[in-house]
A and B are shown apart, each in its own frame.
Chain A
Amino acid sequence: MRDLRTERKGKILSVDNLPTLPPVLDEVTKMIEDENTSPKQIADVISKDQVLSAKVLKMVNSPVYGFPGRITTIHHALVLLGINVIRGIIISTAVFDVITSSMVGLWEHSLCTSTISKIIAEQINLKDPEEYAIAGLLHDLGKVIIAIQLPEEKKEIEEVQKKEDISYLEAEKKILGFGHDRVNAWLCDHWKLPLPTKEALAYHHNPSLAKFYPDFANVVHVADCISKVLEVGFSGDEIVPLLQKKSFLSLGLTFKKLAKIMDQVLENIIEVLTFIPK
């Protein structure tokens, strides 16, 4: 078991060309060629795609630039990388050969969780809501990587999940011996992503494990639950995870505040859904 795990971890970390969905890539390509678009506008669109966002953060936090683990938002990354490097990333990025509806579903779920994370952060007055949006966007990145690097195992996970009616996370653990949350942690270390982002990605299913930036894990955990209740997109199963009471309370959330958050979410959800054409 140990060896198989090491082998799978190695395979996962050797991912070198993550593909994305064509519409997002096309949109960013168009914007980059247009001299009138500002870096801020380009950052806004990249911030809607988990693969491009992950690549940009991986680049800006790489030792080449000399400040690993510091930059958490796409906007700051763009200021530091410049349009030329972004172009390089875009040109290098391929699209999925086959796009399944489950993949589109995962993108929608991620984008929706991102939007909700940002709204929660704003409503409870956390500094820099943009950082929470990115954490929400990337929270299921491990699932994308598993699909790319371990396609056989991914099929097995889906079968077991359906057959035994368990959560996707449980199915991952059954087949792989670890879940996408663990994959997230490996990737964040390997890519030198900042600690707040890492804790959100690694502990969004178990936020009480976050030692340094509990707000991040808590916000993404709550956002993930809301996103699943709303059934926007599809993250692999239809089981809504148990909302951790501790997360809810430590963020200072109340049902009154939650109602306000939900109003905001419903207002914004249309825009989210129209971004990724099916």
Chain B
Amino acid sequence: MNKNIQEIFLISSNEDLINLFQKILKEKGKVYTFNKGRHVIEKILQSPPGLIILDTEIDDISYQEMIKLIKGENVYLHIPLIICLNIDVLQKIKELLDPEFEIDDFILKPIKEIEALVRIELTTSKASRFLDANPLTKLPGNTTIMQKIQGLIDAKKEFALGYCDLDFFKSYNDKYGFSRGDEVLMMTSRIIVNTVKEHCGAEGFVGHIGGDDFVFIVPIPKAEEVCKNITKNFDAIIPYFYDPVDRKQGFIISKNRKGKIEKFPLMAISIGVVFNRGNLKHYGEASQIAVNLKKAAKKSPKSSYILDRRNYGAQDR
């Protein structure tokens, strides 16, 4: 308890409220106050604080819109966000129960000092227990992925599950080092997240199994379009993660698994997609098929995807 949070953004135009929080949070970290919402968004996106406290009574932008903007991205999802509201707002807010509306807690006005303090403590320590998320990309990890897939199977929902991994990632890591490898993984996560979001909105899901393995879940009719755009965007951007010489020649020289010097092409992304039309019984079955399809896609050194035609062709063609 009483862990120090480095930076706290307090967004409110109410002076009493600001003064109260200044007092409460004195020991917790450096408090930056903003009396307008719009201006602070770019700041939050650019250099995220350790905690955000948002007064729903800011008047230049709706607090709902602010929350959606911040919590809609994997890279900001982990920032604890507490809203301060009046009882009438609370009564109206059905959104508080909506899983899409990701606030971490709320504090009711008029604010009681001790209550606010405890809630802030709880929220920040809860946030640090956000353990399943991948530490690099902050995307949901294995437990969440498994539950999500099994949940859809049990509910007899149709879905497409894509498994992605990178070709020649290991040789890139060997040559450029781990931190450059992490850059590539971050970039890959953003491409998959944004492509899935662009085509499927809230219906899509992206998880990070670990290393260069990612999964996504999308509605069946969107699967091919999503695969096409992920491979296209990946191929367009990956050259920029190589040094100019390697980018120009189109390959790198690095050691293979046996320690021998070898030429490796620029990285590519391979995707295997399995469809559930009620045919799958178990999470393991879904991932097994998708992994095998991905392995088949990997046979080509270029970015490619393979869809599970057995369960796709029958009804979509």
Q: Is the beta-carbon distance between B39 and A17 smaller than 8 angstroms?
A: yes
Which positions 58-76 of chain B face chain A at CB distance < 8 Å?
61, 68-69, 72-73, 75
Q: Is the beta-carbon distance between A93 and B191 smaller than 8 angstroms?
A: no
* Distance between A191 CB and nearest chain B CB, rounded to angstroms: 9
Which positions 8-39 of chain A face chain B at CB distance < 8 Å?
16-17, 39
Say what secondary structure dominates the interface of chain A: helix
* Distance between B78 CB and nearest chain A CB, rounded to angstroms: 12
B42 within 8 A of A: yes
Q: Is the beta-carbon distance between A66 and B45 smaller than 8 angstroms?
A: no
CB-CB contacts of B163-198 with A at 8 A, as 1s and 0s? Answer: 000000000000000000011111100110111011
**A153 to B31, alpha carbons, bound, how many Å?**
33
Q: Is the beta-carbon distance between A76 and B240 smaller than 8 angstroms?
A: yes
A62 within 8 A of B: yes
Task: State which of A58, A80, A212 has its C-beta within 8 Å of the C-beta of B46.
Answer: A58
**A88 to B72, alpha carbons, bound, how many Å?**
11
Q: Is the beta-carbon distance between B240 and A82 smaller than 8 angstroms?
A: no
B47 within 8 A of A: yes
Which positions 91-112 of chain A face chain B at CB distance < 8 Å?
91-94
Q: Is the beta-carbon distance between B42 and A80 smaller than 8 angstroms?
A: no
**A58 to B193, alpha carbons, bound, how many Å?**
20
Q: Is the beta-carbon distance between B187 and A91 smaller than 8 angstroms?
A: no
CB-CB contacts of B258-270 with A at 8 A, as 1s and 0s? Answer: 0000000000000
**A212 to B48, alpha carbons, bound, how many Å?**
33
Given A64-B75, A76-B237, A70 and B183 touching (CB < 8 A)?
A: yes
Given A39-B198, A55-B42, A76-B236, A67 and B72 touching (CB < 8 A)?
A: no
* Distance between A89 CB and nearest chain B CB, rounded to angstroms: 6
Q: Is the beta-carbon distance between B47 and A82 smaller than 8 angstroms?
A: no
Given A62-B47, A64-B47, A87 and B42 touching (CB < 8 A)?
A: no
B90 within 8 A of A: no
A72 within 8 A of B: yes
B222 within 8 A of A: no
Task: State which of A39, A70, A87, A213 has its C-beta within 8 Å of the C-beta of B241.
Answer: A70
Q: Please, which residue of chain B has its CB at the minimum distance from the CB of A16?
A: B43
A255 within 8 A of B: no
B299 within 8 A of A: no
* Distance between A28 CB and nearest chain B CB, rounded to angstroms: 14
* Distance between A68 CB and nearest chain B CB, rounded to angstroms: 8
**A72 to B241, alpha carbons, bound, how many Å?**
11
Q: Please, which residue of chain B has its CB at the minimum distance from the CB of A71?
A: B240
B89 within 8 A of A: no
Q: Is the beta-carbon distance between B73 and A92 smaller than 8 angstroms?
A: no
**A79 to B75, alpha carbons, bound, how many Å?**
15
Given A55-B42, A82-B194, A92-B42, A66 and B240 touching (CB < 8 A)?
A: no
Q: Is the beta-carbon distance between A88 and B190 smaller than 8 angstroms?
A: no
**A76 to B75, alpha carbons, bound, how many Å?**
18
- Which residues from B are CB-within-8-Å of A85? 45, 73
Q: Is the beta-carbon distance between B241 and A79 smaller than 8 angstroms?
A: no
**A91 to B190, alpha carbons, bound, how many Å?**
22
A59 within 8 A of B: yes
Q: Is the beta-carbon distance between B41 and A88 smaller than 8 angstroms?
A: yes
Excluding A17-B39, A82-B73, A84-B73, 10 further A-B contacts by CB distance (< 8 Å) are A16-B43, A66-B75, A66-B137, A80-B194, A80-B237, A81-B190, A82-B194, A84-B197, A88-B41, A89-B41
Residues of B participating in the A interface, judged by any CB pair closer than 8 Å = 38-43, 45-48, 61, 68-69, 72-73, 75, 136-137, 182-187, 190-191, 193-195, 197-198, 233, 236-237, 240-241, 244
* 24 contacting pairs across A/B (C-beta < 8 A): A17-B39, A58-B46, A62-B46, A65-B186, A66-B137, A67-B184, A67-B187, A70-B183, A70-B187, A70-B241, A71-B237, A76-B240, A82-B193, A82-B197, A83-B194, A84-B72, A88-B41, A88-B69, A89-B42, A91-B41, A91-B61, A91-B69, A212-B244, A213-B244
Closest 7 CB pairs of A and B: A66-B186, A92-B42, A82-B194, A67-B183, A80-B190, A92-B41, A88-B41
